Chains A and B, each alone.
Chain A
């Protein structure tokens, strides 16, 4: 009787020690995955995918007993899937709504900052706009590039669907919740937006800063260049956080994964893919 209680106590102590070790001591680097095994399924926001995939590859290479799958679908899908218990982590590019937290009992873990940039075709001579001009363009009040110092051509307006975290950020931070012209074309992803703008010299739209490259030109907002550095310093105001969400308390493996992403090695991966790590 006495002995068995002692043994139970020892087991509990060992377990507590293990958990502490996982969440405090080794959680920052790959070594913390050494003794773990199992599967993590991730789905949701499309901006997160490069970071998640990169981290997953590192971890699976280090410990083949761990399997991690990464799927897209968008922020809304991320919430629905993790809420229904179909995946372990649901990624969102926006904060959860109160209704979502209440409905599914979700826990949220922000890990990176992403800026949203106004983008045009590189052939477009316009390279800077004021927030007032942008609001008027998206409301449909300014219809020609001539009015903002461009050629005498109609403006082709592109926006994102209502489920998009990128749209939510752009709409709240830049348009100040102002109207978006109903005639604007709606594209379903950052990739589709980039493709539409890259083809059309008259187009204007918005993408995550990480998506800017030779094919789409970022517009200076009130003379501030849309770069991740400016986003971090606060000079460029149109930013959002990227989140991982779990249903209730995460399992030890998922907890270690989240700690890894939010640790120093995760920060390197996040930077590599054009986002800014959220340092605590």
Chain B
């Protein structure tokens, strides 16, 4: 099969080489076709999901139920199908979970890249890697057993099933996603600049803050987007510990219901009911929010100089 062996056979060599290339090309073509197929299937399913959601939402729009669904009161047995409290719940929870998890993730990555002792880096990253393999339901269950009673006894007015409890649990769940994304980017940058910046006399913390942070901007944005999307898309933790009361929260101790938990709760109702229709709108909103966050951050990122340099 090897080319070197075939080259010296002068007259037939060219022909042999040609057939060899042809075979190689054909194989490559096949691989490309397979990859294209995989791409088409994954893109196609996303488009199909959007299509289905839209298809099921259209009757709600044309029948004029939209104002009923975009209202602040969810009392389905009294003809009130407002899902705005759930929209607020989803956004509040995703934002608060990010507010806890993102700085924590940045800290962990800084610790692992020069700020902390070297020997701790391996075990720390091992722990983070291990965290990714814990199923969500375990976080939820442990939280119900330990965190819910803790919150309840600390704040007697709360039932323990609250925005606060869900925030703490969810931030722990999205932390590994954030850390691993930032870490991957820092590692790439680190290899390139470590010696140079050390030679210039930067301390490790200066390197991290002024050399690596701007260079790793892309990874920092990506971690923010994916972390937020995961927090927004999580269903089980919200369902298990957030309390699911369909209300706009006034404090972190209030019970809240997210759009995802709402879908999970309502999907079992009579599929001919109006309540059931609201889950398609909920799905569409989730889809739209995640898409919007992705797009806007991508645009923001392409405007930053560091992002451009690496793009």
Contacts and interface: CB of A to CB of B under 8 A. Distances in A.
Contact of B243 (A74, A186, A200, A202): A186
B77 interface: yes
B245 A185 contact: yes
A200 B266 contact: no
B134 interface: no
Contact of B268 (A75, A100, A185): A75
Tier of interface size on chain A: 35 or more
Nearest to A177: B77
Given A186-B243, A186-B245, A77 B159 contact: no
B149 to A, nearest CB: 6
Given A99-B270, A185-B255, A154 B247 contact: no
Nearest to A192: B240
B89 to A, nearest CB: 12
A134 to B, nearest CB: 18
Interface stretch (A155-163, A218-226, A232-240): A155-163
Contacts of B266: 161-163
A154 B269 contact: no
A36 B139 CA distance: 46
Given A100-B270, A203-B159, A185 B275 contact: no
Nearest to B141: A195
Contacts of B246: 182, 186
Nearest to B272: A99
Given A195-B144, A200-B160, A103 B272 contact: yes
B269 A76 contact: yes
A126 interface: no
B244 A185 contact: yes
Nearest to B276: A76
Given A188-B239, A200-B160, A97 B247 contact: no
Interface string B228-271: 00000000000110011111000000110100000011111111
A153 B268 contact: no
B11 interface: no
B75 interface: yes
Contacts of B77: 162, 171, 177
B264 A188 contact: yes
Contacts, number: 89
B270 A76 contact: yes
A153 B158 CA distance: 11
B244 A186 contact: yes
Contact of B161 (A76, A154, A162, A185): A185
A63 interface: no
A130 interface: no
Nearest to A44: B268
Interface string A154-197: 10111001110000000100000101001111111000100110
Contacts of A75: 268
B76 interface: yes
A135 to B, nearest CB: 15
Interface string A229-257: 00000000000000000000000000000
B156 A153 contact: yes
A200 B152 contact: yes
Interface string B133-161: 00000000000100011001000110111
A199 B270 CA distance: 32
B74 interface: yes
Contact of A73 (B73, B159, B268): B268
Contacts of A163: 265-270
B51 to A, nearest CB: 21
Contacts of A153: 156
B80 to A, nearest CB: 10
A172 to B, nearest CB: 10
A79 interface: yes
Contacts of A157: 159
A73 B144 CA distance: 21
Chain B CB count within 10 A is highest, among A103, A163, A187, A192, for A163
A187 B270 contact: no
A80 interface: yes
A157 B254 CA distance: 12
A79 B267 CA distance: 12
Contact of B271 (A76, A183, A184): A76
Contacts of B73: 182
Contacts of B161: 185, 196
Contacts of B269: 76, 161-163
Given A184-B245, A185-B244, A185-B245, A76 B159 contact: no
A202 B160 CA distance: 11
A15 B148 CA distance: 61
Contact of B149 (A80, A154, A199): A199
B191 to A, nearest CB: 48
A203 B144 CA distance: 15
A74 B246 CA distance: 21
Contacts of B255: 183-185
A202 B270 CA distance: 33
Given A77-B267, A161-B244, 16 more contacts: A76-B271, A100-B272, A156-B159, A163-B266, A163-B269, A163-B270, A177-B77, A182-B73, A182-B247, A185-B161, A185-B243, A188-B244, A199-B144, A200-B160, A202-B159, A203-B159
5 contacts: A76-B268, A100-B270, A162-B76, A162-B269, A188-B239
